[in-house]
Structures are given as C-alpha cells and as structure tokens.
Structure 1
Amino acid sequence: MEANEASPFESSEMLATFLISTPLLPESWKLCSQANAAAANLRSFVVERIGTVVYVAFSGVGMIGGSDPSWRNLVPLESIGGVPLFSPRRNKDAEEPVMIHEGMLNLFSSIFNSIQNQVLGILETTDTKSIVITGHSIGGATASLCTLWLISYLQSISSSLSVMCITFGSPLLGNKSFSEAISKEKWRGNFIQVVSKHDIMPRLLFAPITPLTSQLNFLLQFWHLSMTSPEFGKLAKQVSDKDKAKLFTAVMDSLEASTQNGEISSSILFHPFGNYFFVSEEGALCVDSPVTIIKMMHLLLSTSSPSGSIEDHLKYGEYVNRLSLEMLNQKNSLLRNIPNSSYEAGLELAIQSSGLADKESAVIIPAKECLKLARRMGPSPALNAASLALKLSKVNPYRAQIEWYKSWCDEQDDEKGYYDSFKTRGACKREMKVNINRQKLARFWNNVIDMLEKNELPHDFDQRAKWVCASQFYKLLSEPLDIAEYYGKGMHRVKGHYLEHGRERRYEIFDRWWENRIVSTGEDNKERSTFASSTQDSCFWAKVEEARDWLNCMRSERDTNKLAMYWEKIENFEKYAIELIQNKEVSSDVLAKNSSYSTWVEDLKEMKQLRANVPRYPHQFTRFLDGEVVP
C-alpha cells in the first residue's frame, strides 16, 4: 500500500466475518438471556465456563431511570475499586475530564464487590485463557465498566489474559474524553457494541433529557422481564403511541443535528466508543469511527417507526441466530458480478449488510458517504511519525541559532543575560532573526500537537523518549523568549501576568509529557557540578516578573493584610529561587549582574532593610509608602 493510500474498507467486514465465524455472539446472547431471567431472583449477573473461555453476563434490569436524579448527571471516572482506569497523562491531556453516566456508575458500584470476588476467583484458575464480559441494555453498560476495571487490573499485575466485551443494545456511557481515552489506551478493539438497526435504546441519550425519555427508559429496563413474567409486559401499555412518537422524533432530530462537517457537535454529551456491530435481518456491519457510528445510527433509525424502534430492543436473539458464515457467503456471491475495486465491493457489501440496499437513494447515498468517512485517508500514524522526525531535523538549525544567540548574550559587556537582552532588544537584525526562528519552532510544535490530537500519530507518541526530550529541550530554550516578548511589549498590563493569561498551551502539554516520562533509576537524583545550559524551570522569568510586581505593590500599598500577603509571596519565591541556584538548576544568565533577577535581589535587600526599621519608624514607613522621601 502506498503511503498516501486510504486504508481498505474491508477491515471492518473482516471483523464482522470473524465474529460471525465464532460462537462468541450466540454464546454471549444466551448468557444475557439467562442473566435477564435470573434478575427475577435478584441475581445481577451469571457466570459460565466453556472450555478455556469464561463468560460473565450482566442483567439488563436495573433501577436507573424514573425519578432517579442521577439520570441527568455525568460524573468523573478515574478509578474503580482503587484501580486507576486510565494513565494520568490521558486524563490531563483531555480538554475535559473523563466522565460517565452517574446512574450507571452507581449501579455498577452497588454490585462491584460481588463482581470483584467472582472475577478474581476466575483469575486463579490456570486453565482460563480469556474472559468475555457481556450484557443486554443497561447490563451492557455494566459490562463495559467491568471490562474497563478488569483490563486495568490485569495490566497492573502484568497478566496476559485476554478480555473482550460484547454488549447488546447498550445505552451510551460517557463523554468525548471517555471515548478518546479508550481509543488512546488502545482498548477500542476490546469492545464490541452490537446494535440492531432500529433499537432506540443505544440512541436514547442523544435526545434532550425530559420526563418522557426518563419514563420510557424506566419502562425499557423492565421489558426484559416480559420474557419470563407476562405481568411486566403490561408496562408497555403505559406509554401511549403519541408519547412514543414524540420520543422517536426527539431522538431522530438530535441524531440528525449531532454531526456537522464531519465532526460531532459540541452539544452532544455522550459519545460512542469501541466497535459498533450493526445487525439486521440481512447481515451485519462493523464500524469504529464515532462520527460514522452516529451517522449510521441516524440513517438506520430513519427507516424505522416509533413502535418498531422500541420493539427492536428485544430482538437481538433473532438477529444473532440469523448471522452465519452461510449468510456472508451468499452475500459475497452477489458481489461477484460487480466489476469494481475491492473497496467499492466492500462498500456495496456493507450497504447490503446494513439492510439499506432496498431503500430509496435518499437513504443509500448518505449511507455510502457516511461509510466513506470511516476510511483513514493519508499516511498511517507510523509514517506520520517518521515524517515528523525528518521535519524535526530540518527545524533543528533554528534551535541551534537560538542557542548561539544565548551564548552570545552571556558574553556581552552589558551583563544583561539571555532573557533581558531579548526583552529590551531594538531593531537589530540579529534579534529579528532569533524572533523569526522562535516563531518557526512554535509552528512546528503546534503542528505536532495538532496531529497527535487528531490521532494522526501513534498513541504512544508522547511517551517516546525522542519526542519527550526534544519537546523539553525546545521548551527550556524558547519559553524564556516568549516571556520576554510578553513583558517587553507590556502585554501583562493588558491581559495580566504570563503564567495565568499568556502561557501557550503547547508548553503545558510538554510539561505533562516530561512529568509522565519513564525515569530510569537514579536519573532525578544526579547532582549538578556546573550550572545548567538552560534554566530547568522554563517559567522562571515569568515568576521573576511577578515578584518584581509584588515589590512595587508593597511600595504603594497601605492595607496591612495585603502587605502581609505580598511579603509571603515574595519570601516563597525567594526560597524557591535560592534552591534552584544552589542545585545549579539555573543557567548562568540568571546571575548576570544586570539581569532582572539580580536587580530584583538588590531591590529586595532594600525592602528588607526598610521593614527592619518599621517597628521603630512606623510613621516614616507610611510616608515612604506614600512616595515621600524619608529624612
């Protein structure tokens, strides 16, 4: 495959073929049915061993809707049972925290102890090779949470046991960050979300939260008991056809508005994750792109009716039993006369498998366009990373020129140092060239971050030593220039101080890369014998500028409480700076005779002398604060 060739569409069909060729789907559904039946006896899950595979199935009956206020809430998800679910860098890198549906988390937490005991007992059995965790409806959400906990736990004990989660008609579970975290941890392949083409339950949380949606969700949870108790089947009549139509329309409208310009709308709270396995009477279609999943949810539901979208929630047994290799072989025979490429043939097969082949062109055309979005256009993440390495070598000369400028500043007679020379620069060509190089480096690193966040780079890119060290080196060298630019142009007077109002996001991201790097034994305990080539706190000069501002404020402030506050901040910074210097974690330009830091130290000495005289000369001190000269 060429570097710029799209990835083949058939990869999704391959996963569909694999699932259909194994007993995973029918066995999982059989256990889900048993779990739903066992719920009548207050059993929330059932366990069964088939050879070396252990199946754990969760009941789809749970008190999560109705008047429960948690139906409306998303809550942070960091750990379960004391096991962190995502590596710290994942949660920190996200623009918003990983959050999930509070009611579903509460439901899982209420049975976690019994689940933990059962699963840990399974792990002690040496002949267990893999675990399949499954569930129908709300049980699917519980199964997903159990899978997340188990995968994280197995990683913590370095176990090679394989885990797969197969859900049927599961509601959405978490926000965008939740979906992205699973993808970045490379866990997406562990989750198969089986969704029938008309089932409203997996689509329910796209609709605005209203008493109607809450009522119907409550009803759907108890419909499963109609298979064993006809009495519960009567609950279906409590929702009128008119209310069902309103709910159907609300879900359809929300789905239609949820994806715009190939992206998911920011108004959508819940996002799909893992692989979605859409099933119908005609076959199965598997996709993993969240945008494509949502579009297909909309297109498939548009061919249904309000009543059909509710009844379809209980038909997974029929769909699973119809799926077989024989069905796939029949469909493949239909494609033999299609003189198109393998991609187009795969696309045609996907449309047939989704059950849309006999629909109007108004549905088929958007469906094909939607599936085309699932193609990964352009180079693979690995090729992108290799290309970036070449681009890094091309921008390294810019960094080298800035390093030369830093050395040049250290040798000047004015003894200002690197930071202050750039801050007070004039129209000299030398400084103009440095500034241009600074901007070129910023564009390069902003592009790196953009590619990483678009999943165009390997998921472990920000853990690779080459890039962690390169970004740290860049940050330590370049951020002092950004700070000098900020204060040299007086931007702090307009926006506020740099640390809170001026720092670029790339530096915050690189901080996290460095903090979460893999540290070799003894690396952080090495003592320096000489001053560092670059100050190890890239924000040091911004802190100096704030400290200078605090001293100036003390000269004009009369409020004793504020004076005490300023002095405490000054003392804390002084201790911090002294510690850095003693550990030789600053570069020599910090101690240059006329640097901002050295000037601040002299001003601080004067202020300390003045404060020493305050108890004896309070009146004179007040006059000094007013700007008068003390006799």
Structure 2
Amino acid sequence: MTQTQFFSSGLESAKFVVNLDILQDAWTAIRDLCKETSQNEEPSSPVKSKVFDKPNCTIIAFFAWPANSKDYVQGNGGGDFVTSSTLFPLFNFLCTKANPNFSINKTAFQLFSSIDLPSLKSEIDNFKPLIITGNSLGGSVATLFTISLLEKFNFSTTKHPLCITFGSPLIGDENLHEAISKYAAWNSLFLHVVSDQDLVPRVLINGYQPFGAFLFCSKLGCSCFEDHQTILELLTATNSGTPENQDPNKVFESYGTFVKDLNHKVICKDTIDDEPLIDWTTTPLRACIITQLAAIGLVQSQQQQNVDINIIITKTEKRAKIMAILNQQAFDPTRGLNDIKVYMAYLEWYKKVSKDKRVGYYDKYKNKLDMSDIKVEEYMRHLTCYWKDMVDQADKRPQTVGASLRRTRTLYGGTNYRRMIEPLVIADYYKAGKQDYINQGRSKHYKILEQVLKEMEKPLSGPNELKKENVASTLTEDSCFWAHVEEALISCKLLSSGESNDIEKETNKLIEFENYVYGLMKNYVVSSEIFLPESSFMTWWREYREIKGNFYRSHLTGLMNNEENYDKYAKGRLVIP
C-alpha cells in the first residue's frame, strides 16, 4: 500500500495573500483613518470608523483610540472576559446545544459596543466585495463587526466579506473559537497579520484561542498557519520585540513596510537559512514546515530566543498530519452524493416493481420474500447514515448555519428520503411486534426533517391540480402514514378478538383514523398505492368494514365502498366532498 504523503501549503497561501491588492488596500485604509484620527486631539468616540468606497470593493476600517500599546491592551483588566449570557442578543446565534456559551474580551467588546452598528451595516453594498479591517484593538472591533454580520449573511447569493486585521490581540475563549471554526465558511473569512516585532497580538494568550488564518511576518518573509494550537505556540516563539523597544508608532509603521516589501519578496530556499534542518531523509511535510518557520524568522532567532526549533517542528508536523486526516474525514454533504442518488433510484425502481405486483413497496418490504428486499435493507442503512449525519451536523452548527438544511435542494432531498425510507423503518418496527412507533420508536432526524419542511411550506386550503395529476407516482406526504395503519390494524384485532379492556377507546381511535385518511385523500397527499389489493391499508379496510357492518356510514366509507373510486383517485379524477 502506498504511504500517504502530507504537505503544508502555508507558504503558497502566504504568497497568494500578499500578492492580492486587497491587503494593500486594507492597510492603506487603516493608515488614512489613523491620520484623520491623530489630527483630532480629543476624539468623540474611542473607536473611529470609516467606509471607503473603492471601484472594486467596499472597505470598512476601524481605528481604536488612544494609541494601542501593549500596556493599554493588557492593562486595566484588559484580559477580562464577558460571557455571552451577559451580552446583548446580537451574538446569540453563535450558541448551539453543544456549545451554549462563549466569552469575549471585555475591552474589545466595550469598544465594539461604542460603534454605530446600524449605520455601518447600511453602508454595505451586497454587489461588491466587502473588506473589514483594523489595526490592534481596531482589529478586534473589525473581527466582532464581521461576526455580527454572519447571522443574516447569505453565503449563496452575496459575496463573502473578508476581515483582515493587523496586530490584533486575540478576542475570545475556546468556545468562541469552536463556534467560528466549526463552520469552515465562517473560519475562512478571517485573516490576521502578525509581525514578529509586535507584542500586542501576544499579550492575551492565557485562556484565549485564535480562529481564522494567521499570516506571520518577519523581515525574511511570511507564512500562513491555521491550526489554533500551532498559532498559539508561534505567537510566543516568534516574538522578536521587547517591552523596552516597543514604540506603538514604529510598530504601526512596520506593518505598512511589511505589506509593501512582502508584495515584492519571493520566498525561496536561497533567501532563508534552513539548510541545517533539511537533508535527503526529511519528509515533504517536515521540509515544508521547516521552510515556513524559517520564512517567519523562527529558525534564525532560535538561539537568541532560547527556542528549541526541533520541538516546534515536530509538534507542528504532528498537528498538520492530524489536521489533514480530520479534513479528509470531515463531514461533507456533497461527498457520496452520487451514491445517495443511486440508492434512491434503486428504491424508486423497487417501488415500481412492487406496484406492478399489486402489493405496494411497504408491504413487499415488510414480507421480505426475495433478494431485492434484502438489497433495499442495505441501501436503507447507507441512506439513513448519510441523512443522520446531515441532520446531526446542521443541529450542532450555529443556528444560522443549521438553517442551511432549509435550502431548497437539501430540503427536497431530505423530504424524499424521509417519505421513501421511514415507511420501511415502520415496517420493520411493527413486524418485530412493537407498538406506538410515533411516540416510542421514531428517530430524531425524521422529526427534524419534518419540522423543517413544515416551517418552510405554506399551508394549502385544498388539493392543487399538480398533486392530482401526480398522485399515482408520488409518495405519501405523511411518512408516518403506515404507522397509523398499523395502529388501526391493532385496534381492529383487539375489537374482533374481544381482548380490548376499553372498547370505546379503540373505537374512537378507529374513527380518528378514518378522519385522518379522509383528510389525506381529500388533499391528494396519500399515494394511490394504498388501494392495491394486498396492501396493509386494504387489509385494515376489510377488517374494519366487517367490524362496523354494511349499514355504517361515514365520509371515508362513502368513498371506500365504491371500488371504482380507487382508480379515479389514482387518475386524479375523484371528486371528494
């Protein structure tokens, strides 16, 4: 078996980023806003913001006042958290059942709370790319502003925003990291540029966790990293600045220099000193990591900073392998989609064959008389695993992302699956001698898929022509229909045998079932297959008619006593009063 080769694309990602004009545009916007702010000795707000309407994008820049030195970020309780339970509802959508609370840096949140949020949101042009940027604590505000957009942001119709921060401190705890990183589309919106000369991104580490991609920069070059544990380790290991030489103005200017110089720098083996750490036995992944660490100045500064570079390389290599494997195994709704379509196509064929045998696919599967029934059982398992994963992942994601399950294509597939497969689950359930499927045996994922459909569908006052025309080929809309049939059969058996301790209760249940079936027929939402001679429904009807006698009359019996109505219903021609 060929051994899997792992690679790291951090250098390639960095090259791509620094060659984009948006990095230069973002920094230029921050610089211009800084100049405007510094001209005013007493700003009216601790955070200044400005919208820059460019031909190719819209930029919203944030600058925090006063100058954001290390002491200002860290001092005066700067490391304190505020929890989501104490925040206003703006960020509630991030909470899930598995991750109900998170914490945000208190200073960052106070600065964010001071901005005119509705006014800034009104400036967003959905037809142009949106860049949100800020330096130091202004970057923290930019990050929170970007998060605030995610609740109602439509990723399918609107260009994605991109948040670019320069020298921003970390803003949240492990739970905030989990809420953002759990969904790749959100995590990819954040790019944090960090200079090896800047202490500010490194002062809030204890109890804090990063999210998004980090572009580490040094005079030698730059590289991107995404693993949060590696980022935390590199924030400490790559620190070339000292408290004594920290001048906020010089650090601020250094980012402009980095943006300008990196755009012209070609990172290659000749420009960095990684020779002592790479030989012919070095694996491709380890060689990539060594080159990345050399590009951000870590290899050169290991003796000055008393850093054991080999330990960092080994840890980074291990995490990169784990991350690559997890990415391969991560749930992807599109993965295996062709197989899912094949399974559903087979079941459609199975349904047609069953109908040709005048038994219906529910009862054919329940009796399991040939190999095709066993094959259906196998396909059922594959389909159920797929949709259980789909529903489970949607339920665990933040609320807005869970709503992706409501998208038309996914909803259509999930509804077809539920209506096709749940009847077969019901068949197995009652064949095993069990009762009360709806309350005792129904899987959670069927309930969720049904609830999502109810929230999206508009109630109909009566049958539409399309349903009438297609009733012969469509699936029964209530996927629990056959559970109701089985319960009605049980009630008939209890009444016929005299075993019931409460005749009135069983009789009322049968009358309720009558009304239920009549309502489905009236709206043409039950398949005409229920009238096939060997179906369980027709078995119920024969037993029920015997119990009630020939003189019993109701809405349903008025339809069922005339067998010509079965064919009329299948053709959509039955007029139901």
TM-score by length of 1: 0.57
Q: 1:349 aligns with which of 277, 281, 291?
A: 291
Taking only the aligned residue pairs, the percentage that are identical comes to 17
Q: Is the 8 A contact 2:477 2:526 kept in 1?
A: yes
Structure 2 partner of 1:57: 62
Structure 2 partner of 1:542: 483
Q: Distance in 2 between matches of 1:568 and 1:66?
A: 68
Q: Deviations over 1:107-160 (max 9, x none)?
A: 588546x2322453x45999x9754343634x5454233224457778599776
Q: Is the 8 A contact 1:46 1:58 kept in 2?
A: yes
Q: Deviations over 1:168-192 (max 9, x none)?
A: 1131275466325753xx3444322
Q: Distance in 1 between matches of 2:547 and 2:249?
A: 76
Is structure 2 residue 521 aligned with structure 1 residue 581?
yes
Q: Is the 8 A contact 1:499 1:542 kept in 2?
A: yes
Q: 2:117 aligns with which of 115, 119, 141?
A: 115
Q: Give the counterpart letter for 1:274 in structure 2.
A: G
Change (3 A) 1:118 1:396: closer
Q: Distance in 2 between matches of 1:476 and 1:422?
A: 15
Q: 1:275 aligns with which of 210, 213, 216?
A: 213
Q: Distance in 2 between matches of 1:602 and 1:531?
A: 25
- Greater Cα offset, 363-372 or 446-455: 446-455
Q: Distance in 2 between matches of 1:549 and 1:38?
A: 83
Change (3 A) 1:163 1:299: closer
Change (3 A) 1:421 1:326: closer
Structure 1 partner of 2:189: 190
Q: Is the 8 A contact 1:351 1:367 kept in 2?
A: no
Change (3 A) 1:408 1:181: same
Q: Is the 8 A contact 2:485 2:536 kept in 1?
A: no
Q: Give the counterpart letter for 2:428 in structure 1.
A: E
Structure 2 partner of 1:170: 170
Q: Give the counterpart letter for 2:180 in structure 1.
A: S
Q: Distance in 1 between matches of 2:333 and 2:287?
A: 29
Is structure 2 residue 228 aligned with structure 1 residue 286?
no
Q: Give the counterpart letter for 1:535 in structure 2.
A: T
Q: Tell me the secondary structure at the aligned position of residue 62 of structure 2.
A: strand
Is structure 2 residue 127 aligned with structure 1 residue 179?
no
Q: Distance in 2 between matches of 1:58 and 1:547?
A: 69
Q: Distance in 2 between matches of 1:161 and 1:299?
A: 28
Q: CA deviation at 1:473?
A: 3.3
Q: CA deviation at 1:46?
A: 0.9
Q: Distance in 1 between matches of 2:548 and 2:112?
A: 58
Q: Deviations over 1:553-611 (max 9, x none)?
A: 996589x9xx8xx99999887655432221121123445685386489779979xx9xx
Q: Is the 8 A contact 1:71 1:103 kept in 2?
A: yes
Change (3 A) 1:68 1:287: closer
Q: Distance in 1 between matches of 2:249 and 2:207?
A: 18
Q: CA deviation at 1:22?
A: 1.8
Q: CA deviation at 1:474?
A: 3.5
Structure 2: runs of 5+ lacking an equivalent: 395-401, 553-577
Structure 1 partner of 2:430: 487
Q: Deviations over 1:91-119 (max 9, x none)?
A: 9xx7747865478797588546x232245
Q: Distance in 1 between matches of 2:20 and 2:404?
A: 31
Q: Tell me the secondary structure at the aligned position of residue 475 of structure 2.
A: coil
Structure 1 partner of 2:339: 391
Structure 2 partner of 1:43: 45
Q: Tell me the secondary structure at the aligned position of residue 585 of structure 1.
A: coil
Is structure 2 residue 320 aligned with structure 1 residue 364?
no
Q: Distance in 1 between matches of 2:206 and 2:89?
A: 25
Is structure 2 residue 301 aligned with structure 1 residue 296?
no
Structure 2 partner of 1:134: 134
Q: How does 1:492-511 map to 2 (within 5 A)?
A: 497-499=436-438, 502-504=441-443, 507=446, 511=450
Structure 1: runs of 5+ lacking an equivalent: 207-270, 610-631
Q: CA deviation at 1:433?
A: 4.1
Structure 2 partner of 1:334: 271
Q: Tell me the secondary structure at the aligned position of residue 542 of structure 1.
A: helix
Q: Tell me the secondary structure at the aligned position of residue 528 of structure 1.
A: helix
Is structure 2 residue 412 aligned with structure 1 residue 477?
no
Q: Is the 8 A contact 1:196 1:278 kept in 2?
A: yes
Q: Distance in 2 between matches of 1:600 and 1:318?
A: 88
Q: Give the counterpart letter for 1:179 in structure 2.
A: I
Q: Give the counterpart letter for 2:336 in structure 1.
A: L
Q: Distance in 1 between matches of 2:84 and 2:352?
A: 55
Q: CA deviation at 1:480?
A: 0.6
Change (3 A) 1:151 1:489: closer
Q: Distance in 1 between matches of 2:73 and 2:476?
A: 57
Q: Distance in 1 between matches of 2:413 and 2:86?
A: 36
Q: How does 1:529-608 map to 2 (within 5 A)?
A: 529=468, 530-531=471-472, 533-543=474-484, 576-590=516-530, 594-595=536-537, 598=541
Change (3 A) 1:13 1:63: closer
Structure 2 partner of 1:224: none
Q: Deviations over 1:285-310 (max 9, x none)?
A: 3234xxx22333146437889x98xx
Structure 2 partner of 1:437: 376
Structure 2 partner of 1:402: 350
Q: Distance in 1 between matches of 2:481 and 2:17?
A: 55
Q: Distance in 2 between matches of 1:279 and 1:603?
A: 85
Q: Deviations over 1:199-233 (max 9, x none)?
A: 45554445xxxxxxxxxxxxxxxxxxxxxxxxxxx
Q: Give the counterpart letter for 2:350 in structure 1.
A: I
TM-score by length of 2: 0.61
Q: CA deviation at 1:57?
A: 0.9
Q: Is the 8 A contact 1:70 1:102 kept in 2?
A: yes
